[in-house]
Amino acid sequence: MTAPVVIGVDSSTQSTKTVVIDAGSGGILGVGRAPHTVTGESGARETDPEIWWAALRSSLAAALDTSGVSPAAVAGLAVAGQQHGLVVLDAAGRPLRPALLWNDTRSAPQAAALTRALGGPDAWLDRTGSVPVASMTATTWQWLREHEPAVAEKTAGVRLPHDFLTERLCGVAVTDPGDASGTCWYDTRTNSYDPALMELVGLDPALLPVVATGGGERAGSLTKAAAAFLGLRPGIPVAAGTGDNMAAAVGLGLGGAGLLDHPVVSLGTSGTVFTATRTRPTAAGLAGFASTDGVYLPLGCTLNCTQAIDKIANLLGLGREDAEPGGDVVVLPYLDGERSPDLPHASGLLTGLRHATGSRQILGAAYEGAVFTLLRVLDDLFAATGHDPESSDVRERPLRLIGGGAKGTAWIETVRRLSGRPVVIPVGEELVAVGAAALAAGAAWGDDPVAVANRWGAGRGRELPAVRRDVTAWRRIEAAFGEVSGLLTAGRG
């Protein structure tokens, strides 16, 4: 008899990754990938949600094919998706327009206006744990109401990306506390939608999915139509799923049944820092998310990470690993504006250039600028959860590096050099999809997904000791950041 397997789906900005996992051992039996198309310029970033649905089928077929597993062995599946994206549906569940993505910065004016309308940042922090910034779902919904009122008027359903796919799978409009907490209309104190905030943005609660108690809760069963589309058997348990960062935390074994207050640095298209904690954070500059399993997942996000550095490498005619320490050069690679700090209209900046400067130093300085920006947010995260960032206890906690950048030597060594902290590179691949698979196991058998992931051991990894912190480089970047911050702020518009 074939051992049962579970399927985890990571529907990210650029692609869908699907994994087939042995439900007993956690071993990855097959992986499939399918690309997405992202369009837009001048701050716009959009994708047709139907692309995600087609990519799910393609990546699932590839994962099953490489695994050699029969579809009959699949015992459950779950989707983790990019956060914040706004999907608006008609009465038949079809998208009315392309989804506005998490890195679409056109709603910066709406974010500022909403912040004022509620009484300032503290009022938002008290209710949602987060202050609206460009691209959070409430701000993009407000942008849609102002710029495309006819579309807003026709909207019969509002979904996050993972909600859209989950509903396609099981026919039930459901989300989870983790992804819902990134909308800025969900109250993390009461674990429910906030009627006053929905009234503020003119949103009918009936348009929203119900909120499950957790991402591993069974949302429903795979419908006959979805089963036929995907080549699976109908009736398979479908979990409520969650956002990509929450799923990564599950895959790492972070949460109520696992590690708490251990920092993670994710190096992807965006850069994120987060930790699972029992402390409800309320700090400007951080997103006070809920986790998917009942604790909190405070998170800081930068818009410019691996994609920005790859762009600079391409402009210089260099490979990703052709970097040297920046020397006198400072690069702040804010090519898409920036979210942390909140500078949606900023652009990339280069300072300290001299005749002796080489292209490899410029690339190295770009790495340093991206890592510096992330580590500043990490210090804010520690402080918001009641920890002194410079205490010996905190500095001895290793940073868990995940995401595509964690496979690159230049990224790893820049993080080590600027942080002066020990680093763990988890052995597990595709941690977001693995976390989603653990949620699928929860839906199939009622297990705690974090405990499942810990049993699988995906969060264990290669440990690298701390190196002497490059304080000189840190202070150089910090000084340059201070000098140009006025110019950056002037670009808010």
List the catalytic residues: 244
The candidate with the shortest Cα–Cα distance to 52, out of 23, 80, 90, is 80
CA atoms within 13 A on the CB side of 163: 30
Q: How far apart are CA 69 and CA 3, in angstroms?
A: 9
Distance of alpha carbon 80 from alpha carbon 219, whole angstroms? 14
Task: Map residue 59 onto helix, strand or coil.
Answer: helix
Contact of 270 with 252, CB cutoff 8 Å: no
Q: Which residue do the tokens 């049962």 mark?
A: 4
Distances (CA, A) of 233 to 54, 123, 224, 237, 433: 18, 48, 8, 11, 21
**Taking a C-beta distance cutoff of 8 angstroms, is the pair 423, 218 a contact?**
no
Contact, 431 vs 402, CB < 8 A?
yes
CA separation for the pair 15, 38 (Å, rounded)? 10
Instruction: Return the axis-axis angle of helices 108-117 and 137-147, rounded to nearest 10°.
Output: 110
Tell me the two tokens of residue 251.
């895959």
* Cα 17 to Cα 15: distance, rounded to the nearest angstrom: 7
